[in-house]
């Protein structure tokens, strides 16, 4: 069942990896032991899901850039399903409920990687525009 | 060239100093975190005292924030630059022929010392409390968490806004901010341990499947069949924070079911055109990144991986909880502890300690240091005078209190900061030394006139 929901997310909504969106996670903050193929062998106690996710960089700061008051784009769509979530829209296909497909607006900022020449990178191409959702 | 602050009008200066009161960043977040109280439940909780707080603070027009949480988040994040990221400066400009305009800039630490501080502050390097050389590589640093050497990583990052106007695109001409960047975001997959539990759900998993997943793995049509085969009944958006001293120990913050269920039916949208599938804007229709972050790190409990079984699942993610008369551990509490650890480590690290001033100790400690930055045009052949900005960081641990309550360690549990011990909020700003404070994070100054969050001094 949970796979059905994630498949619906990919097929029905934008702003997810399965739709080919290139969601950029800006650097910054601590890395994780499941950080990319170059990470050292995992010797700690982490969950199976983290071991399976080892080839991806951590999803840190998510870029967001919205038109004022437009809640239907940008941000990041997530699937949320549990057999304990009540379904508001339970007429017919319960998999259509808005509770199962939620859009979140995360901290989106440019970080400043220190360059080898000791200057900070402020290249706009790598930057994110700060969240602007004010109505 | 110069930098400018919006506070009290645009001040232009070729040299300036910004004093940043680090504790205000966290006490301000505590004020905002109290919006999350409806999702919590513990023995003796007084939820009304937290919601009543918002009736006691007002916006610039004198309207109180009671039941106007979205406006409070928006005023803080958009107007004041005080949220998950806090603005240290508001922008960089050039003054030419009597007009001030944006331009693309590059930023350089003034000295090697300034570069080292920036590197450690932005999490590019570990900070060592024992004067031992620690690799700059965070990944390599994962091998270091031994009893002899403690290496801490910064929970912060530094950010720079670009600016787009009708005149063009200007790299780095916007605000410099400091933000909390230790968390990342993904999914928790598992079986809810108790389907009748209204708060703080825990999840049964196995050693082969379940736990925390990267969204890039989950959001893949090819993976949906694999997910179905696991037989797990729940997939929930989750935050994650790594232990600041042990990168192989993580803490998990899946949203609670009462948060997911909180969608009211408004602000829905369709998937594809004419699709039957509806989406919604998550958790109370949040319109700010700060509220979203606090949904995860103040509204949800902290879970840890345990070998406690649940039904047919041999492992589980459980609340990291030892006392049911107080709140469960939360991400905000974890982040405050990590910030405290980081500043303490800066005061001991051999590369930074000569430049860190420490007054008092333990929960009364006050740490301070400065970073000098030079700001010049990005284009090499443009002849504008370089601007200098000094960022002074002052972190008074005392000023975290009583907004946060320190719960001392027990033989079975380490000490921790309580976020929801009471509804107290004190933003001390420059009053950290004199005792002046304000209870309103949207104020400019304390009741005794000291700046909060930051103090801008021009032409220092």
Choose the closest CB to B219 out of A6, A85, A129.
Answer: A6
Q: How far is B433 from chain A (nearest CA, A)?
A: 30
What pLDDT is recorded for position B134? 36
Tell me the sheet residues that pair with B313: B310
Q: How many domains does chain B have?
A: 1
What pLDDT is recorded for position A27? 53
Q: Which residue of A has its CA nearest to B75?
A: A134
Identify which of A50-64, B36-50, B114-128, B377-391 has the greatest average pLDDT: B36-50
B106/A134 touch (CB, cutoff 8 Å), yes or no:
no
Q: What residues of chain B lie within 8 A of the CB of A130, using their CB? A: 161, 174
B289/A78 touch (CB, cutoff 8 Å), yes or no:
no
Q: What residues of chain B lie within 8 A of the CB of A50, using their CB? A: 211-213, 250
B 329-348 residues inside an 8 A Cβ radius of A: none
What pLDDT is recorded for position A115? 52
- Tell me the C-alpha distance between B425 and B31, whole Å: 6
Question: Among A87, A31, A79, A43, which residue's Cα sits nearest to residue B244?
Answer: A31
- Confidence grade of residue A133 (pLDDT, cut at 50, 70, 90): very low
What pLDDT is recorded for position B213? 95
Least-confidence region, from A76-80, A96-100, A107-111, B348-352: A107-111
A23 alpha carbon, distance to own chain's centre: 7
Give this complex's ipTM.
0.86
SS (H, E, C) chain B: CEEEECCCCCEEECEEEEEEEHHHHHHHHHHHHHHHHHHCCCCCCCHHHHHHHCCCCECCCCCECCCCHHHHHHHHHHHCCECCEEECCCEEEEEECCEEEECCEEEEECCHHHHHHHHHHCCCCCEECCCCCCCCCHHHHCCCCCCCCCEECCCEEEEECCEEECCEEECCCCCEEEEECCCEEEEEEEEECCCCCCCCCCEEECCCCCEEECHHHHCCHHHHHHHHHHCCCEEEEEEEEEECCEEEEEEEEECCHHHHCCCCCCCEEECCCCCCCEEEEHHHHCCCHHHHHHHHHCCCCCEEEECCCECCECEEEEECCCCCCCCCCCHHHHHHHHHHHHHHHHCCCCCCHHHCEEECCHHHCEEEEEEEEEEEECCCCCCCCCEEEEEEEEEECHHHCCCCEEECCECCECCEEECCCCCCCCECHHHHCCCCCECCCCCCECCCCCECCEEEEECC
A-B C-beta contacts closer than 8 Å: 367
B433 alpha carbon, distance to own chain's centre: 24
Instruction: Using a pLDDT cut of 70, give the percent of chain B over it.
Output: 90
Note the pLDDT tens digit of each residue in A28-40: 555 555 544 454 4
B118/A114 touch (CB, cutoff 8 Å), yes or no:
yes
Least-confidence region, from A117-126, B198-207, B337-346, B412-421: A117-126
Q: Is residue B285 part of a domain?
A: yes
Q: Is residue B276 part of a domain?
A: yes
Q: Is residue B297 part of a domain?
A: yes
- Confidence grade of residue B69 (pLDDT, cut at 50, 70, 90): very high
Q: Is residue B203 part of a domain?
A: yes
Q: Is residue B280 part of a domain?
A: yes
Least-confidence region, from A111-125, B58-72, B305-319: A111-125
- Tell me the C-alpha distance between B12 and B376, whole Å: 15
B139/A30 touch (CB, cutoff 8 Å), yes or no:
no
CB B453 within 8 A of CB B82: yes
Mean pLDDT computed over A113-132: 46
Q: Is residue B275 part of a domain?
A: yes
Q: What is the mean pLDDT of chain B?
A: 87
Q: Is residue B299 part of a domain?
A: yes
- Tell me the C-alpha distance between B87 and B178, whole Å: 7
Q: Which domain holds residue B279?
A: 184-333
Q: Is residue B65 part of a domain?
A: no
Per the model's pLDDT, the better-predicted residue between A132 and A9 turns out to be A9
Output the CA–CA distances (angstroms, integers) from residue B370 to A32, B91, B254, B299, in the order listed: 29, 19, 37, 34
CB B227 within 8 A of CB A9: no
Q: How far is A54 from chain B (nearest CA, A)?
A: 8
């Amino acid at each position: 069942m949970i796979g059905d929901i994630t498949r619906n997310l990919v097929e029905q909504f934008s702003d997810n990896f399965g739709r080919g969106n290139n969601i950029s996670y800006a650097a910054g903050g601590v890395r994780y032991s499941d950080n990319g193929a170059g990470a050292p062998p995992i010797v700690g106690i982490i969950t199976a899901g983290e071991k399976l996710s080892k080839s991806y960089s951590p999803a840190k700061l998510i870029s967001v850039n919205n038109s004022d008051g437009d809640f239907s784009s940008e941000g990041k769509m997530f699937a949320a399903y549990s057999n304990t979530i009540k379904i508001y829209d339970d007429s017919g296909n319960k998999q259509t409920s808005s509770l199962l497909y939620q859009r979140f607006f995360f901290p989106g900022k440019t970080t400043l990687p220190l360059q080898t020449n000791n200057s900070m990178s402020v290249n706009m191409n790598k930057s994110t525009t700060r969240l602007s959702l004010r109505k | 060239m110069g930098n400018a602050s919006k506070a009290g009008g645009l001040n232009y200066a070729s040299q300036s100093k910004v004093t940043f009161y680090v504790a205000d960043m966290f006490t301000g977040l505590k004020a905002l975190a109290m919006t999350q109280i409806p999702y919590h439940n513990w023995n003796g909780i007084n939820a009304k005292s937290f919601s009543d707080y918002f009736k006691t603070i007002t916006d610039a027009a004198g309207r109180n924030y009671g039941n106007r949480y979205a406006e409070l988040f928006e005023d803080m994040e958009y107007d004041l630059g005080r949220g998950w990221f806090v603005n240290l400066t508001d922008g960089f400009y050039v003054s030419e022929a009597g007009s001030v305009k944006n331009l693309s800039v590059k930023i350089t630490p003034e000295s090697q010392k300034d570069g080292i501080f920036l590197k450690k502050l932005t999490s590019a390097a570990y900070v060592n409390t024992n004067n031992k050389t620690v690799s700059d590589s965070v990944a390599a640093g994962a091998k270091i968490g031994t009893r002899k050497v403690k290496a801490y990583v910064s929970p912060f990052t530094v950010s720079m806004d670009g600016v787009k106007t009708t005149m063009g695109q200007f790299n780095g001409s916007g605000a410099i901010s400091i933000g909390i960047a230790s968390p990342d975001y993904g999914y928790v997959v598992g079986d809810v341990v108790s389907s009748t539990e209204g708060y703080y759900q825990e999840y049964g998993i196995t050693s082969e499947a379940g736990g925390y997943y990267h969204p890039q793995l989950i959001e893949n049509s090819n993976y949906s069949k694999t997910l179905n085969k696991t037989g797990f009944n729940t997939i929930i958006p989750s935050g994650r924070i790594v232990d600041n001293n042990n990168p192989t120990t993580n803490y998990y913050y899946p949203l609670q079911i009462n948060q997911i269920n909180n969608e009211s039916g408004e602000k829905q949208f369709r998937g594809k055109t004419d699709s039957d599938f509806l989406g919604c804007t998550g958790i109370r229709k949040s319109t700010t990144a700060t509220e979203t972050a606090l949904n995860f790190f103040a509204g949800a409990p902290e879970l840890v991986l345990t070998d406690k079984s649940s039904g047919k699942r041999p492992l589980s993610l459980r609340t990291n909880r030892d006392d049911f008369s107080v709140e469960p551990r939360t991400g905000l509490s974890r982040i405050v502890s990590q910030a405290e650890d980081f500043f303490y480590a800066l005061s001991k690290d051999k590369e930074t300690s000569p430049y860190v001033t420490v007054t008092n100790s333990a929960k009364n400690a006050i740490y301070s240091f400065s970073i000098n930055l030079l700001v010049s045009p990005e284009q090499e052949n443009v002849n504008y005078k370089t601007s200098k900005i000094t960022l002074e960081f002052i972190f008074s641990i005392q000023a975290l209190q009583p907004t946060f309550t320190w719960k001392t360690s027990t033989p079975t549990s380490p000490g921790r900061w309580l976020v929801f011990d009471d509804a107290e909020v004190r933003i001390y700003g420059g009053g950290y030394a004199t005792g002046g404070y304000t209870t309103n994070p949207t104020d400019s100054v304390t009741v005794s006139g000291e700046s909060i969050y930051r103090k801008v001094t021009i032409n220092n």
